[in-house]
Structure 1
Amino acid sequence: MNSSRFPRTARVRARSDFDRIFKHGRRVALPVLALHFQADADVPARLGLAVSRKVDPNAVGRNRIKRVFRDAFRHLRAELAPGDYVLVARPGASKLSGEELRAAFHSLLKRAGARSALALPETAAPGTMPAASPSHPTPDPGPG
């Protein structure tokens, strides 16, 4: 099976599953996105999406948001902890670019502790000093 596909078995589709995840799962949230997560060792990672008309009244906008999340999940699925993930978009999500939506999703996964083997490169905050490299050791001030 091609790992870049998004089969039906990788989706949370039944209303009863959504209700179970909302009721018993953990939730982490940002102003534009909420992630509900319920671990289940018997099921590989599955994704459910909830993007209402409050997020964007136009179907094109809602579908763009869902497409971005499905693509991001598709690439991360093998590295995520087993269980069900439901993303609930909030009204500010329609104003974000695809990259900003992906970054928000990654941030929520990290906060939820759902990424098992995933190691994205950490970016330094602007204005911070880089770590000292071994090729340029800091000088020893000597005794005194």
Structure 2
Amino acid sequence: MTSRFPRSARVRARSDFDRIFEHGRRQATPRLAVHWHATATPARLGLAVSRKVDPRAVGRNRIKRALREIFRHWRTQLADGDYVVVVRPSAREATREQLERHFLDVLRRLGALAALPGSMVPGTMPPAPDASATGSSSSGAGLASIGPDPTSP
């Protein structure tokens, strides 16, 4: 699959939107909501950006361009199915990077995008240090060797 965004990768028909809204799973952030209906076809994207988001067409089109580019970039790593992104008014002030962060967060929560290596889900603790990195195989002795001793001069 190439990284292009062909016509076949777009959800365009009203009946498709209705089916995705009715049967799909939904996750949201304050800036956008994503409806995902798993199918056997490669990932397709539909966008819903109303005038409530931005009354000016240029603002709505900026958001749509950014989301299409993000989707095009990540499409090969997404689970098969149809995705509809419903943009909320708070997205009006968002940068492209913020939109991407929200979009990827929602996709991970839906299970449509695996967590990237080295990335952490917000609100989780950092991974425990590897026992081989501390130089000790016992769990208690390795803790004493982490960092300098606060009582030494």
Instruction: Quote the residue 2:25 is aligned against.
Output: 26
Query: Which segments of 5 or more consecutive residues in structure 1 lack a partner in the other structure?
Result: none
Structure 1 residues 69 and 131: CA distance shift in structure 2, 3 A: same
The amino acid across from 2:83 in the alignment is: Y
CA distance in 1, matches of 2:133, 2:126: 16
Instruction: Quote the residue 2:45 is aligned against.
Output: 47
Instruction: Quote the residue 1:122 is aligned against.
Output: 119
Instruction: Quote the residue 2:148 is aligned against.
Output: none
Matched, 1:132 2:129: yes
The amino acid across from 2:76 in the alignment is: A
Pick the structure with greater CA Rg: 2
- Matched residue count: 137
The amino acid across from 1:9 in the alignment is: S
Instruction: Quote the residue 1:71 is aligned against.
Output: 69
Is 2:11–2:44's contact at 8 Å kept on the other side of the alignment?
Answer: yes
Is 2:3–2:75's contact at 8 Å kept on the other side of the alignment?
Answer: no
Structure 1 residues 47 and 56: CA distance shift in structure 2, 3 A: same
Structure 1 residues 97 and 38: CA distance shift in structure 2, 3 A: same
Structure 1 residues 50 and 120: CA distance shift in structure 2, 3 A: farther
Residues 89-141 of structure 1, C-alpha deviations (whole Å, 9 max, x = no match)? 0000011111000000000000000125x62531587xx77853644436828
Q: Tell me the TM-score normalised to structure 1 length.
A: 0.84
Structure 1 residues 34 and 120: CA distance shift in structure 2, 3 A: farther
- TM-fit CA distance, 1:60: 1.1
- TM-fit CA distance, 1:45: 0.4
Q: What is the aligned-residue identity percentage? A: 57
Residues 23-81 of structure 1, C-alpha deviations (whole Å, 9 max, x = no match)? 1111111111000000001x110000000110011111111111111111111111111
Instruction: Quote the residue 2:6 is aligned against.
Output: 7
Structure 1 SS opposite 2:5: coil
Structure 1 residues 18 and 60: CA distance shift in structure 2, 3 A: same
CA distance in 1, matches of 2:128, 2:23: 42
CA distance in 1, matches of 2:133, 2:118: 22
Q: Which segments of structure 1 move beyond 6 Å, counting only runs of 4 or more?
A: none
Q: Tell me the TM-score normalised to structure 2 length.
A: 0.79
Instruction: Quote the residue 1:36 is aligned against.
Output: 35
